[in-house]
Amino acid sequence: AGDDVPGRQEPAQPFNARTYVLSALGQCAAFSPHIEASLRTPAPSGYDTDSIGAHDFLTNTAFLLEQAGFGALLPAWWTRKGTKQRLAVRATVKSPKLQADAEFTLERILRVDWEVALGGEPLALAELKALAKLKAPLVRVRGQWVELNPDEIGAALAFWKSKGTETSARDVLKMAMGGVPATGGLEFAGISATGWMGDLLRRLDGGDRLEELEPPEGLLGTLRPYQSRGFSWLAFMRTWGFGACLADDMGLGKSIQTLAVIARDWEAGDRRPSLIVCPTSVVANWQNEVSRFTPGLPVMVHHGLERAKGAAFRKAADAHAIVVSTYALLQRDFEFLERVDWRSVVLDEAQNIKNPETKQARAARSLRAGYRVALTGTPVENNVGDLWSLMEFLNPGWLGTQAEFRRAFFLPIQTTHDEEASARLKRLTAPFVLRRLKSDRTVIADLPDKLEMKVYCSLTKEQASLYQAVADEATEAIATLAGIERRGLVLATLMKLKQVCNHPAQFLGDNSAVPGRSGKLARLTEMLEEALAEGDRALVFTQFAAMGEILKRHVQETFGRETIFLHGGVPKAKRDQMVRSFQTDGGPPVFVLSLKAGGTGLNLTAANRVFHFDRWWNPAVEDQATDRAFRIGQSRKVQVHKFVCAGTLEEKIDEMIESKKQVAERVVGTGEGWLTELSTDQLRELFALREDAVGD
């Protein structure tokens, strides 16, 4: 009855630890027959086992116990991170003190001492054989227990039998940079190098600061700090015979850095010619860059119908420091280009060889050269496959065959976004690619707020034919006129010749096809492609409404991006809407403007590129147009590109203005009327078309 009293509880049973532990151990018995057998003794305290049983407990039983809620206290040598040591292969390369010379190649043979190591400690062949005989997953090596896979030991023994004592510098460098996979399934523990190879590896890896060189005496102008570093880097790569890719953003001065290296070689007594290959639209630009920065270097332009060929070309090339040619001629004239012993081959706009199967890419790779340089603002345009073609030109074989590259890098990176493959590819290519961005504060701090440069373009054959016809007709008529009639004809001829320089379709007014007919338009397209890839926004100025329409249509069709055009016929409301649209984030990246309609009164600070497609021969007018972007509110550096057709009246008038720079505005006035006062002989010279003005 007393048990029914409400609130009454049974007295608590005392806790019996022994019983609890035995019960828990009984549950453990389900996970291992060894535990079950040990519990049958009067005082269970564990069980003895061999190395195979211990390995089974560490890898299987301990995991099952932890999953069931039991704690498993394992030895520190097993659980501590990094103590599960594996066999690894490492190499030691001994070379004499640094003795760089022009004959260094990646094929140089080096002596390599190989060893198999465990936990950083080398193992002798006898020790490996003894471990193989044990055939146990847990072995005691030099007082420490280690888990070793019998397959690894077998691979180590096989490696020991097959290892060589000599290998190429190329393979040593690739191994040091992680480009060689594990040997026979073994880890690669790196390379220890002394002498010049050790110095080289440290410099390529960024461990040693690159020595900055003094610029050559024949270089005019001052290298900015980042340009000095780029020149020194190119010279270092050239010293060791490595191909180098200078991948600076457009406008950072890739040409002056390249010319500095060529001039340094020339002054050191190496008088072999250097070949610069570029798009036809850039030939004149290189010619002027050489004249501007290294006037002491004899330069030869190899293009046009009258170009030298065969033995005559080889003789002429050997007499010059620089030969400038084009991608089109690289394949067409390869028969005699390949016979020249080039000091260097430089590919400008090197993305032109991104497709390794093209004839021009094959030709570029086949040229003989002491060293090779690629200049591009876009080393990878479409996919990492572009990088193989570029590196195959610079350092043949560095990334393996095309099939090997596709298997090791292209497919893993492009299809599965393999981060390890991306990191390995970057490590392999980084020493040979110098990439500087305008957005990098260490670079942009060295740039002026407004960087102005002239872009020299060639005429197409069609343009040259039209130009010559207009000039001949005008020169004959001007000689018979005087006064206002003469001045009127001179101005009309100037307009016609400028239209021809812009585009035949503008001059003819026939709505004919646009692509492939204008050197200027080809160069603008190339520069806009790079600018848009960098996320830049651009203003493109022209004097002519008809040319503005052509530009707008061409840019839209080429890049598939909205392009707006402001000219004098646009109503104010529409004009204001265009400005708002361009100034808005995500707005049209290219704004085409007629110089008169867009030259003043607009705030277009969203742009950081300004292109003057054709020139208004008054510096003040051009500056006013440029200041649509370069004004209060502009947070980025502004690059200004002034297009000039080399060998035409555009270049000659530009030279006249430059020679009177300080008084140009007073001399030139506000328009082009000053040109009408030139004599007939002066006009004949002004209109004359230089032979080298025409592209291929």
- Band of residue 667 on the pLDDT scale cut at 50, 70, 90: very low
Distance of alpha carbon 619 from alpha carbon 625, whole angstroms = 10
Q: Which two tokens stand for residue 312?
A: 């005559």
Give the count of beta carbons closer than 10 Å to the beta carbon of residue 357.
8
Structure confidence by residue, pLDDT tens digits, 415-426:
888 888 888 888
Select, from the ranges 23-37, 362-376, 561-575, the one with the highest average predicted confidence (pLDDT). Answer: 362-376
In three-state secondary structure terms, 656 is helix
**Tell me, what's the pLDDT at 314?**
93
Structure confidence by residue, pLDDT tens digits, 218-259:
999 889 888 999 999 999 888 888 899 998 877 788 999 999
- Give the percent of the chain with pLDDT over 90: 32
Note the Cα 105 to chain centre separation in Å: 23
Write out 150-175 in H/E/C secondary structure: HHHHHHHHHHHHHCCCEEEHHHHHHH
Are the beta carbons of 691 and 647 closer than 8 angstroms?
Answer: yes
Distance of alpha carbon 503 from alpha carbon 463, whole angstroms = 7
Are the beta carbons of 293 and 227 closer than 8 angstroms?
Answer: no
Distance of alpha carbon 637 from alpha carbon 641, whole angstroms = 13
Comparing 389-403, 437-451, 542-556, the range with the smallest average pLDDT is 437-451
Q: Which residue has the tokens 């007919």?
A: 517
CA distances from 692 to 47, 52, 328, 356, 562 (A): 94, 83, 16, 30, 36
**Tell me, what's the pLDDT at 696?**
62
Strands 187-193 and 274-278 turn out to be: unpaired
Residue 85 has pLDDT above 70, yes or no: no
**Tell me, what's the pLDDT at 664?**
38
Give the count of beta carbons closer than 10 Å to the beta carbon of residue 274.
29
Q: What is the mean pLDDT of residues 129-135?
A: 74
- Band of residue 445 on the pLDDT scale cut at 50, 70, 90: low
Q: Which two tokens stand for residue 173?
A: 């460098």
Distance of alpha carbon 383 from alpha carbon 644, whole angstroms = 34
Structure confidence by residue, pLDDT tens digits, 28-79:
777 778 777 777 777 777 788 877 777 778 878 877 888 877 877 877 777 6
Structure confidence by residue, pLDDT tens digits, 261-291:
999 999 999 999 999 999 887 888 798 899 9
CA distances from 670 to 97, 319, 539, 667 (A): 66, 46, 22, 9
Are the beta carbons of 167 and 112 closer than 8 angstroms?
Answer: yes
**Tell me, what's the pLDDT at 61?**
80
Are the beta carbons of 146 and 123 closer than 8 angstroms?
Answer: no
- Give the percent of the chain with pLDDT over 70: 85
In three-state secondary structure terms, 434 is strand
DSSP string for residues in 215-273: PPTT--S---HHHHHHHHHHHHHHHTT--EEE-PPTTS-HHHHHHHHHHHHHHTT----
Residue 351 has pLDDT above 80, yes or no: yes
Are the beta carbons of 19 and 31 closer than 8 angstroms?
Answer: no
- pTM of structure: 0.65
Distance from the first to the final alpha carbon of the chain? 120
- Band of residue 633 on the pLDDT scale cut at 50, 70, 90: low
CA distances from 192 to 18, 59, 89, 92, 115 (A): 59, 35, 12, 5, 11
Q: Which two tokens stand for residue 119?
A: 């936990």
Residue 182 has pLDDT above 70, yes or no: no
Are the beta carbons of 305 and 464 closer than 8 angstroms?
Answer: no
- Band of residue 670 on the pLDDT scale cut at 50, 70, 90: very low
Average pLDDT in the chain: 82
Q: Going edge to edge, which strands form the sheet with 274-278?
A: 299-301, 322-326, 274-278, 342-348, 369-375, 244-246, 433-434
Q: What is the mean pLDDT of residues 568-581?
A: 86
Distance of alpha carbon 140 from alpha carbon 392, whole angstroms = 48
In three-state secondary structure terms, 591 is strand
Select, from the ranges 146-155, 202-211, 538-547, the one with the highest average predicted confidence (pLDDT). Answer: 538-547
Non-local CB neighbours of 222 within 8 Å, separated by 6+ positions? none
**Tell me, what's the pLDDT at 216?**
95
**Tell me, what's the pLDDT at 662?**
42
Residue 446 has pLDDT above 70, yes or no: no
CA distances from 560 to 504, 540, 556 (A): 24, 17, 5
Distance of alpha carbon 404 from alpha carbon 60, whole angstroms = 39
